[in-house]
A = this chain, B = another copy of it.
Amino acid sequence: MSLDAHLVVRRPAFDLDLALTAAPGEVVALLGPNGAGKTTALRALAGLAPLSAGFVRLDGTDVRALPTELRPIGMVFQDYLLFPHLSAVDNVAFGLRCHGARKGAARDQARDWLSRVGLSGCEAKRPGELSGGQAQRVALARALAVRPRLLLLDEPLAALDAHTRLEVRSQLRGHLADFGGVAVLVTHDPLDAMVLADRLVVIESGRSVQEGPPAQVARHPRTDFVARLVGLNLYRGFASGHTVALDPGITLDAAESLDGPVFLTFPPAAVALFRSRPDGTPRNLWRTRISMIERHGDRIRVHLDDPLAVAADVTAAAVAELGLIEDSQVWAAVKATETHAYPA
């Protein structure tokens, strides 16, 4: 099963226009900010949102005219949508029965699926009696049970506790590896995306802004959204050799030598802060202002804003030593070896 789709969905205040392809067996993760159109894209693939234009080809055949129930799909909804009048096991058996299984056989298989997602014992519960995480696992089992050739997963792990999440994730990975179909996965967790997906598609405002293998996307973000997702500072600039001129009039040195428009990234941990201008001549050095200081667990993130918006991670000791406070002026330095440029 291969997927080749061009999804155009027009709404009064929102337009989706997305080309999406996947080779057999490939897992594609859709990433993007809230409201970017990820759910809309899945619904369009499923035939639940009418296409304003475009096509959905599965193995070369356009299924645009096919009603949802005839598409070889399985879908996990963001809010599960378990049938409230059926028990967990009957929810899972539902699809199997629609695909022709006998009642007994369907239930046996359904029980099997439930135990695979760690829910033996919850078979007889109604959705109203399940916890959020349990409901999400039932929804996952229900979608997987029909052995779809195109699997559409809308944040399938969001409600799971950290441990179950690991387990279900690795099961899901095994499952996705086994099956020859295509999986399209929406997630907000970069780790989920990295672990599960062969390819990331980043959507913003209904348009694809970056695509590629997870590692490459993580190394070479092309939008602020991706940069923040993978925890990098990202800037657009113009390179001449190792020197990159950024928009606010600052020049930084990068490890790579390039010419023309480039992106430039460095991790927050690569930023060093100084109360006064340090000695020596680190070339990537500028005077700036602290706009906000945040404590994240055991590390401290300092946001700098003027002239360049930069996130810097420093130790608590450094904050105390340098007496860093919001709205004060500091010097920031980045080693050229940690600064990474690539063509824009």
A residues contacting B by CB (< 8 A) are 13, 31-36, 38-39, 78-80, 122, 125, 130-134, 137, 154-155, 158-166, 170, 188-191, 194-195, 215, 225, 228-229, 294-298
Cβ contacts under 8 Å, A163 to chain B: 33, 225, 228-229
Q: Of B125, B161, B189, which is within 8 A of A34 by CB? A: B161
**Contact present for B188 and A160 (CB under 8 Å):** yes
**Contact present for A78 and B132 (CB under 8 Å):** yes
In Å, the complex CA distance between A294 and B170 comes to 8
In Å, the complex CA distance between A158 and B188 comes to 9
Known: A158-B158, A159-B158, A162-B229. A133 touches B191 (CB 8 A): no
Determine how close the nearest CB of chain B comes to the CB of A311; give it in whole angstroms: 10
Determine how close the nearest CB of chain B comes to the CB of A163; give it in whole angstroms: 5
**Contact present for B155 and A296 (CB under 8 Å):** no
Cβ contacts under 8 Å, A297 to chain B: 191, 194-195
**Contact present for A133 and B228 (CB under 8 Å):** no
In Å, the complex CA distance between A297 and B80 comes to 28
Q: Of B31, B35, B161, which is within 8 A of A131 by CB? A: B35
**Contact present for A188 and B170 (CB under 8 Å):** no
A selection of 17 A-B contacts at a CB cut-off of 8 Å is: A13-B125, A33-B163, A33-B164, A34-B137, A34-B159, A35-B130, A35-B134, A38-B131, A78-B159, A79-B79, A132-B155, A161-B225, A166-B228, A191-B296, A195-B295, A195-B296, A215-B298
Cβ contacts under 8 Å, A36 to chain B: 131, 161
Determine how close the nearest CB of chain B comes to the CB of A309; give it in whole angstroms: 13
**Total copies of this chain within the assembly:** 2
Known: A34-B137, A34-B159, A194-B297. 11 other contacts (CB 8 A): A31-B161, A32-B161, A33-B161, A34-B131, A35-B130, A36-B161, A161-B188, A162-B228, A163-B228, A166-B228, A195-B297
In Å, the complex CA distance between A35 and B129 comes to 10
In Å, the complex CA distance between A195 and B36 comes to 27
Determine how close the nearest CB of chain B comes to the CB of A33; give it in whole angstroms: 5
Q: Of B132, B164, B189, B195, which is within 8 A of A39 by CB? A: B132
**Contact present for B35 and A133 (CB under 8 Å):** yes
In Å, the complex CA distance between A217 and B33 comes to 32
Cβ contacts under 8 Å, A154 to chain B: 132
The chain B residue with its CB closest to the CB of A231 is B162
In Å, the complex CA distance between A165 and B187 comes to 13
Q: A39, A133, A155, A165: which has the most chain B beta carbons within 10 Å? A: A133
Determine how close the nearest CB of chain B comes to the CB of A154; give it in whole angstroms: 8
The chain B residue with its CB closest to the CB of A129 is B11
Cβ contacts under 8 Å, A33 to chain B: 133, 161, 163-164
**Contact present for A132 and B162 (CB under 8 Å):** no
The chain B residue with its CB closest to the CB of A77 is B132
Determine how close the nearest CB of chain B comes to the CB of A87; give it in whole angstroms: 13
In Å, the complex CA distance between A233 and B194 comes to 24
